[in-house]
Amino acid sequence: MPAEPEHWTWEQPDGRGLDVVWRQQGQDPESSDSPAVVLVHGFGASSGHWRYTMPSLATQTPTFALDLIGFGGSSQPKAVLPSDPDAQRPTPSDEALVYGFDLWAAQVEAFCRQIVQRPVLLVGNSIGGVVVLRAAQQLGAHCQGVVLIDCAQRLMDDKQLASQPAWMAWIRPLLKTLVSQRWLSTALFRNAARPRVIRSVLGQAYPSGANVDDALVDLLYQPTQRPGAAEAFRGFINLFDDHLAPELLATLEQPVHLIWGERDPWEPVAEAQDWAERFACIQSLTVLPRVGHCPHDEAPEAVNARLLEILKAQAA
């Protein structure tokens, strides 16, 4: 398990303070030109999901991980949707906000500038991949590169409608109305937030079954028992018009490396192969056989070796 969690208050322009849990391992080696590494987890996970990544990277450079707002031990404010009656109402600290990739990217940017305070290599898994792409745009030269591990493709976004079956256009208005209802999103969340269900989903995400243990199930289960946990779920499942990775990749100036599980059931490797051909910023694609959506945890030796190679190249 990575280092013990610490807490940072992320101050908002309106005076709100959001509590962010973060971890650090590794010290700055003498004469090191390597950037620090900042690890950003996927949906439903937390900084502890980098349990096998942090110790390895920390041998070479300071390595950080944080819990995105709504997840892990960080603040879990009430989710406000643009369609909600109180969407424009100012709210006190830690009470309510609009979840989305701009929020999470701003969190990562502020964390890098205020806590890390040195150039960074951003690494994101799943939705964390979209977060680090957006954060890299905002950080500019402060970010020296990006690594996407099975980056989320967000097929339910409105901008993806053209790639969906025709019937999806008919049911989408009803679907969006239904999932905006707090009673339904909370019921869906409570059904999913059970150890048996979590273990079943992990069986899909980790097709080899490697490292699916009680510690992992508990890592994902415990944050779901916090009072505000259902709110981040509501905010996320209602993100129908937000950033997509290809749009961000099209204009990104920093180098990008892709690491992908060949058997990812949710983010097909064919999409990663298409991105690698289309976008000039992408310098490499590493496909790992027999693993799925979270290769950093399912096949950590292979992922860590590739990340260390990327770090070495960054320092050269």
Structure confidence by residue, pLDDT tens digits, 174-201: 676 777 788 888 899 898 999 999 999 9
Domain count, the chain: 1
Which runs of consecutive H residues, i.e. helices, occur in the chain? 53-57, 101-111, 127-139, 166-179, 182-192, 195-205, 214-221, 229-237, 245-249, 269-278, 295-298, 300-315
User: What DSSP string runs through 242-289?
Assistant: S--HHHHHTT--S-EEEEEETT-SSS-HHHHHHHHHH-TTEEEEEEET
Tell me how far apart the alpha carbons of residues 204 and 229 are, in angstroms, rounded to a whole number: 23
* 87 occurs within a structural domain: yes
For tokens 């946990």, the residue is 229
* 24 occurs within a structural domain: yes
Name the more confident of 238 and 168.
238
pLDDT at 184: 84
Closest listed residue to residue 186, CA positions, set 236, 239, 231, 223 = 231
> Residues with Cβ < 8 Å from 198, sequence gap 6 or more?
192, 217, 220, 221
Q: What is the pTM of this model?
A: 0.92
Tell me how far apart the alpha carbons of residues 42 and 201 are, in angstroms, rounded to a whole number: 14
Name the more confident of 142 and 183.
142
Strand partners, 38: 64, 122
Tell me how far apart the alpha carbons of residues 73 and 48 are, in angstroms, rounded to a whole number: 10
Q: What percent of the chain has pLDDT over 90?
A: 72
* 281 occurs within a structural domain: yes
b/e 202-227 (16+ beta carbons within 10 angstroms → b): beebbbeeebbeeebeebbbebbeee
CA atoms within 13 A of residue 157's CA, in its CB half-sphere:
16
Decide if 23 contacts 2 (C-beta within 8 A). yes
Decide if 205 contacts 197 (C-beta within 8 A). no
The single-letter code of the amino acid at 235 is: G
Tell me: the pLDDT tens digits for 57-78? Answer: 999 999 999 999 999 999 999 9
Strand partners, 125: 149
The pLDDT confidence band at residue 90, using thresholds 50, 70 and 90, is: very low
> Domain containing 128: what range?
6-315
pLDDT at 84: 76
> Residues with Cβ < 8 Å from 222, sequence gap 6 or more?
none
Residue 188 sits in a domain whose CATH number is 3.40.50.1820
Tell me how far apart the alpha carbons of residues 68 and 41 are, in angstroms, rounded to a whole number: 8
pLDDT at 92: 37
CA atoms within 13 A of residue 148's CA, in its CB half-sphere:
35
Tell me how far apart the alpha carbons of residues 112 and 28 are, in angstroms, rounded to a whole number: 16
* 1 occurs within a structural domain: no
The pLDDT confidence band at residue 310, using thresholds 50, 70 and 90, is: very high
CA atoms within 13 A of residue 253's CA, in its CB half-sphere:
8
Q: What percent of the chain has pLDDT over 70?
A: 88
